[in-house]
Structure 1
């Protein structure tokens, strides 16, 4: 009888992948803060996780091929058409980093629990 890691780890591994993908998107926004006409993008993390939890095949594609991205609406439109607002992007990136660390901690606890079960130690 083998261990089914996908069942044992739950959605934590998928959450880490989605958080990493969101970090790339937010970093791209920050890197293009001065690019005229650049449109800030973001993903709806909650909707992507709900899609994964429902077992929807599109949700699995969101993890492997990249989640569906939407455009961010700026609070203050710029004259050059760039919709990146540095403060908003930095706050979102910081929050995503903290959430990534939390997901990583949960995954680490799950793995430690599995190791204890396998080794028979308490």
Structure 2
């Protein structure tokens, strides 16, 4: 799977990641949100055009899966590039909120049912 650049050349995903196939960190899930940080590059990341595209799309918080769709890149490639940006301090990572593991009480469920019946 490849993607065309502005001049129509085919760019392979492994070329975008420098041959890396696995992320260097495990913070990212499909629903993790990321936000760009207004900082200058510190030189630890060899900037690629995709890094700039990601930072522009992350001006507002965006989920990893949505970012990949907007960039028309595989999620695995986007996560590797996000790891670069995180290590350079260029993005903030916001993990998904944990889902409550408690089961609602029977009383609450009955109240909800009564309200729905009234509709």
Compute the TM-score of the two structures, normalised by the length of structure 2: 0.28
Higher helix share: 1
Q: Considering Cα pairs closer than 8 Å and 6+ residues apart, tell me whether 1 or 2 has the greater RCO.
A: 1
Higher strand share: 2
Compute the TM-score of the two structures, normalised by the length of structure 1: 0.28
